[in-house]
Structure 1
Amino acid sequence: MGKVIYWMNASMDGYIEDSKGGMDFMDPAEDFRQAANDHVRRISAFLFGRRLYEAMEKPWTQDLGKEGAPALEREFAQLYKETPRYVFSDTVQTVPDGVTIVRRKDAVSAVTRLKEEIDGTLQLGGPELAVSLLDLIDEFWVYTLPVIIGGGKPYLPVGEKLRLHLVEHRSLASGIMFARYVRS
């Protein structure tokens, strides 16, 4: 049976985007890129909300990872393209090969089915999608970047308390912290 991990990178004050919707504060260091590639190598499928899908798809399939780009960037692009991707959206109409559209009303049943069919890790990204699938999330991952941005979109905008238990953590030489939590 597969497990769903919710993985987003965040500022030290807990935001995945700044107040203008930008992610310019995320300038990942080489040690982060290596750690991300190591994680992505073990992922069986990406589950994206529309906005995160749009932020990832074109850059990693068309713009980044080309000849002349840093080796870690090229490696991530290759891993990304080889991994099945699901975009949860009611507005996306067409997708390239390797991507499947799931309508938001079908999200819970689709992810439940994927957990049963895929014996591996399903990496969920996008805070609104995560909230809608909260009961199906097995682990919560966050890479915390050493920057405070003062506001924006939170890592997980839940309206209730969710108790978690830390099962792994490490710091990278760049000052980025990784933490992996499970439900308490």
Structure 2
Amino acid sequence: MGKLIYAANTSLDGYLEDEDGSFDWSVPDEEVHAFWNEHERGIGTSLYGRRLYETMRVWEDDDWLTAEPDVVREYARIWRDADKVVYSSTLEGVSTARTRIERHFEPEAVRQLKRASASDLSVGGAALGAQAFRHGLVDECVLLLHPVLVGGGKSALPAGVRVDLELLGHRRFDNGVVHVHHAVRTDP
């Protein structure tokens, strides 16, 4: 059975992107990129909302990768090898391999996907992540806290949801980014 892991880059004040929709402050250096590569290597299926999928589908295209460092090209290979489920009621079709669209988020279908999976799954994006948290589907939370305050924008974690966590690990990167890894506590 696979675990569902919510994973995100976030500002220190808790945002995925600033009020203008920018997340340029979270572009990873080589060390952080290598961390994400290792994390993603254990993911068999990624669950995306439409906007995050549209951002991530750049990894399908080789044209821009030729001049990129090995760590970036490696991420593209890892991303391509994973299955992707995009939750969207408006997306006409997908332009990446190993990708399917689901028109509605169905918690029981995600539970079945977790039960049937031999590897872990990830969920990304603010709205989809919030739904997964609200339905008790998230097993672990991996956050990379970037040393920046953006003052507002899209919150990384859902409001109005209480989830008790247990720290599984942490790490400080040379660029000041801090990784925190928590398990969702299921005991009362």
TM bucket normalised to smaller: over 0.9
Shift of residue 107 of structure 1? 2.7
Tell me the SS of whatever aligns to 2:31: helix
User: Does the 8 Å contact 1:3/1:121 carry over to 2?
Assistant: yes
Q: Partners in 1 of 2:141 and 2:9 — Cα distance?
A: 11
Shift of residue 26 of structure 1? 1.4
**Matching residue's letter, 1:32:** V
Give ranges in structure 1 of 5+ residues lacking alignment.
Answer: none
Tell me the SS of whatever aligns to 1:9: strand
**Matching residue's letter, 1:84:** D
Give the corresponding residue for 2:77.
78
Give the superposed CA RMSD.
1.4
2:21 equivalent to 1:21 = yes
What is the TM-score with the length of structure 2 in the denominator? 0.91
Q: Partners in 2 of 1:122 and 1:160 — Cα distance?
A: 21
Q: Partners in 2 of 1:167 and 1:129 — Cα distance?
A: 23
Q: Partners in 1 of 2:22 and 2:88 — Cα distance?
A: 21
Q: Partners in 2 of 1:182 and 1:141 — Cα distance?
A: 9
Give ranges in structure 2 of 5+ residues lacking alignment.
Answer: none
User: Does the 8 Å contact 1:65/1:77 carry over to 2?
Assistant: no
**Matching residue's letter, 1:35:** F
Give the corresponding residue for 2:102.
102
Shift of residue 66 of structure 1? 2.1
Give the corresponding residue for 1:39.
39
User: Does the 8 Å contact 1:44/1:84 carry over to 2?
Assistant: yes
Give the corresponding residue for 2:91.
92
User: Does the 8 Å contact 1:65/1:78 carry over to 2?
Assistant: no
Distance 1:137 1:70, change over 3 A: same
User: Does the 8 Å contact 1:65/1:74 carry over to 2?
Assistant: no
Give the corresponding residue for 2:113.
114
**Matching residue's letter, 1:118:** S
Shift of residue 162 of structure 1? 2.1
Give the corresponding residue for 1:123.
122
Q: Partners in 1 of 2:159 and 2:109 — Cα distance?
A: 22
